[in-house]
Amino acid sequence: MTHNSYVRSAESPRGRSTVSKIALGAAVAAGIALTGAPASAQPKNTTQEVAVRLNGSSTIGSKMALNLAQAWAKQLKLSGIRVDAGSDPDEYEVVAEGAESTHRMRVKVQSKGTGYGLEPMLRGQTDFWVASRPVQEADLEAMRKKGVPNVPTYAQMTAPGIENVIALSAMAVIVNSKNPVPALSYQQLRDMYSGRATSWAQVGGPSNLPIGLYSPEPTLATADFFCSTIMGNKDTAKCLDGFARLAAPRILMMEDVSDAVAGNPAGVSFIDFSAKRSARPVPLATDCGTGIEPSLFRIKTDEYPLTRKHYFYINPARPLSPAARDFLQLTLSPTGQAAATAAGLADLQPSVSDPNYASDRLDTVRDAMDGGRTRVRASDVRAFENAIVGADRLTVTFHFQAGTNNLDARAEADLARLVAQMQQPPYSQSDLVLIGYSGVTGDYTENRNLSRERADAVKERLVASGIKPAATLGVGPAAAVACNLDATTGPLNQRVEVWMRKPRG
């Protein structure tokens, strides 16, 4: 497989300098050995080259892809890493060569945006479609209308191994650290940014304090996410133009947005969670009473409602080259996840809750007992309490393919990560407890039984992989993390949590 069609000269000093500044300090340590054909097997004075092409999301392309390329070069024991600018501002290429140029690695990154990567992937012009949102049926239908050949079905595109979650991020709404507003709902945010609410007193904040609105530039992905998710407007430029009077012109750097809010007692804005700095992230209230404060742990457990998944999609009809398979393996490995963390994203590696998490969750379940919104039975609350006594929650949360007990694409990858983690100390000396949940609508007993079935389905998969959980439990609609308002939010409650405790005695 040759990639000479996109190999360009690095003759542009100006372009090289611009991109190289991005690369400074971005390389991460490598941890998995990749092996290719030995140099001795190659004809003398020839170069063995591996090459991978990425196209899509600017969120991933701007830094994580660069980190991955540099980590891959180090795994391949290639020195002389350089970053060459492409002919387009959203394009660059990472090149690394070995001793006497007998080996070479190329990673070409085109990061104009998620919407631009699907067609090149389907046409075989790139190895991975890099997306900062899940594929939609509308994406595939648009390809069919354009005459792209062999467009896969939605089921094919979302199958495990084709759809690969590679990292997480989240949007946070921030206020000044001295602002006591307890939470903000989607509607309150819409009222604030449309100008219908002009005082903090109107949204539960300090009385007689005018609201100081800040906004990032529309070129930033967070602005697009805020407009589509909160404001209900997918035309980001039109959405931002419709904002009420801002306290300052729109700001390019996320960190500068956070600093502006931190310096203004009346300030409020939306940013990437990783750029919150000294501003205070505000919990988001929902129409059905749920509301979760943003934290790295909540983002990784898929409980915080403004979490975004980032993906590598591959063409179901076109096998990956050996180089692309190795690159995908690297991305999903601990080394690749370190590259995500270095880029300011949330990694997918299992981690453990803080000491207060279990008691907070128990309070949430108790609040849902008879007489509460979901009328959870006292016997189920007691069973939940007994299951988590002395236990810590892991960030692994299993979700399922619609209408089945089959794990979805991310859950399949998380299962492998969990098995690997449980084989290492101190995890190997601990027991797992699996707790299943259901939606909040429908028959209570049926929902509880379904939640137990999901926990048992995960147990079967773990047992087949050599890990035997100590217990499974189904608690139905207890501790819902989302409203059952539509097909997007309802399935978030249909999940299995993983808890870990030391064996008793």
Q: Helix, strand, or coil here: 292?
A: strand
Superfamily grouping for domain 351-501: OmpA-like domain (3.30.1330.60)
Question: What's the CA gap between 302 and 489, in Å, rounded?
Answer: 12
Q: Please compute the mean of the pLDDT values over residues 13-34 and round it to a whole number.
A: 30
Q: Is the pLDDT of residue 6 over 80?
A: no
Question: What's the CA gap between 327 and 165, in Å, rounded?
Answer: 14
Q: Please compute the mean of the pLDDT values over residues 474-500 and round it to a whole number.
A: 76
Both tokens of 355, joined, read 């000491």
Q: Is the pLDDT of residue 5 over 70?
A: no
DSSP assignments along 316-345, one per residue: TTSPPPHHHHHHHHHHHSHHHHHHHHHTTP
Is residue 99 very low, low, confident or very high in pLDDT (cuts 50, 70, 90)?
Answer: low
Q: Please compute the mean of the pLDDT values over residues 95-123 and round it to a whole number.
A: 89
pTM value is 0.80
To 10 degrees, what angle do helices 378-388 and 357-367 make?
170
Q: What confidence score (pLDDT) does residue 25 get? A: 31
Among 183, 22, 172, 41, CA closest to 111: 22
Residue 42 vs residue 319, higher pLDDT: 319
Place of tokens 């190997």: 428
Q: Is the pLDDT of residue 129 over 50?
A: yes
Name the CATH topology of 4-162+314-342. Answer: D-Maltodextrin-Binding Protein; domain 2 (3.40.190)
Question: What's the CA gap between 88 and 111, in Å, rounded?
Answer: 10
User: Comparing 4-162+314-342 with 169-297, is the CATH topology the same?
Assistant: yes
Is residue 426 very low, low, confident or very high in pLDDT (cuts 50, 70, 90)?
Answer: confident
Question: What's the CA gap between 258 and 131, in Å, rounded?
Answer: 26
Give the CA angle between residues 273, 274, 277 to the nearest 5°: 95
Residue 315 vs residue 362, higher pLDDT: 315
Give the CA angle between residues 432, 438, 441 to the nearest 5°: 165
Q: What confidence score (pLDDT) does residue 290 get? A: 57
Q: Is the pLDDT of residue 418 over 60?
A: yes
Cα distance from N-terminal residue to C-terminal residue, the chain: 58
Residue 472 vs residue 87, higher pLDDT: 472
Q: pLDDT averaged over the chain?
A: 84
Q: Is the pLDDT of residue 43 over 60?
A: no
Where on the phi/psi map is residue 149: left (φ > 0), alpha (ψ -120 to 50), or beta?
beta
Question: What's the CA gap between 393 and 140, in Å, rounded?
Answer: 38
CATH classification code of 169-297: 3.40.190.10
H-run or E-run covering 206: none
Q: What confidence score (pLDDT) does residue 222 get? A: 86
User: Among 32-46, 169-183, 247-261, 491-505, which is the least confidently predicted range?
Assistant: 32-46
Q: Is the pLDDT of residue 477 over 60?
A: yes
Q: Please compute the mean of the pLDDT values over residues 283-301 and round it to a whole number.
A: 80
Residue 294 vs residue 188, higher pLDDT: 188
Q: What confidence score (pLDDT) does residue 497 get? A: 96
Q: What confidence score (pLDDT) does residue 484 get? A: 54
Is residue 122 very low, low, confident or very high in pLDDT (cuts 50, 70, 90)?
Answer: very high
Model pLDDT for residues 132-168, shown as the tens digit of each residue: 889 999 999 999 999 999 999 999 999 999 999 999 9
For residue 282, the Cα-to-chain-centroid distance in whole angstroms is: 20
431-436 and 471-474 as β-strands: parallel, antiparallel, unpaired? parallel
Q: What confidence score (pLDDT) does residue 303 get? A: 83
Is residue 252 very low, low, confident or very high in pLDDT (cuts 50, 70, 90)?
Answer: confident
Q: What confidence score (pLDDT) does residue 34 get? A: 28
Where on the phi/psi map is residue 289: left (φ > 0), alpha (ψ -120 to 50), or beta?
left
Domain residue ranges of the chain, discontinuous segments joined by +: 4-162+314-342, 169-297, 351-501
Residue 115 vs residue 165, higher pLDDT: 165
Place of tokens 């059905």: 288
Question: What's the CA gap between 451 and 437, in Å, rounded?
Answer: 5
Q: Helix, strand, or coil here: 190?
A: helix
Is residue 376 very low, low, confident or very high in pLDDT (cuts 50, 70, 90)?
Answer: confident
User: Among 285-299, 349-363, 389-403, which is the least confidently predicted range?
Assistant: 285-299
Among 130, 129, 107, 128, CA closest to 23: 107
Q: Where are the alpha helices (DSSP H) in 3-117?
A: 13-23, 58-59, 65-75
Task: Give me the percent of the chain exceeding a pLDDT of 90.
Answer: 58
Q: What confidence score (pLDDT) does residue 483 get? A: 64
Q: What confidence score (pLDDT) does residue 234 get? A: 85
Q: What confidence score (pLDDT) does residue 274 get? A: 85
Is the CB of residue 56 less than 8 Å from the CB of residue 113?
A: yes
H-run or E-run covering 379: helix 378-388
